[in-house]
Amino acid sequence: MNKPSFFQNVVGMFKDKHTPLRDKLLIAGGTVYILSPVDLVPDLIMLLGYTDDLAVLIGTYRVFRRSYNNYVRRSDVVAEQEWKWK
């Protein structure tokens, strides 16, 4: 049995009903904000302009990492239980 790739796990995490909707929305919203050219604080302002991007990046990463790790643990437990029954 092959282990799923990182991207397969990410798609699975977003499809999983046990991943909180709040986390899915925060990850998607944070990603859109980081990729968007529109900022709360314009990047033209020295150093201060990048602090909002950095804060969103760190927050999004922390939510993603927690949700991703929880999903991988859950899916590993389910796969292990299924393997025992075969």
Q: Would the pLDDT of 59 be above 80?
A: yes
How far is 79 from 77, CA to CA, in rounded Å?
Answer: 5
Q: Look at the block and give the residue holding tokens 């927050």.
A: 59
Angle at which helices 21-35 and 48-85 cross, to 10°: 140
Three-state SS at 20 = coil
pTM value?
0.82
Q: Would the pLDDT of 28 be above 70?
A: yes
Label residue 4 by pLDDT band (50, 70, 90).
confident
In contact, 52 and 41? CB cutoff 8 Å: yes
Domain boundaries, the chain: 23-79
- pLDDT value at residue 3: 83
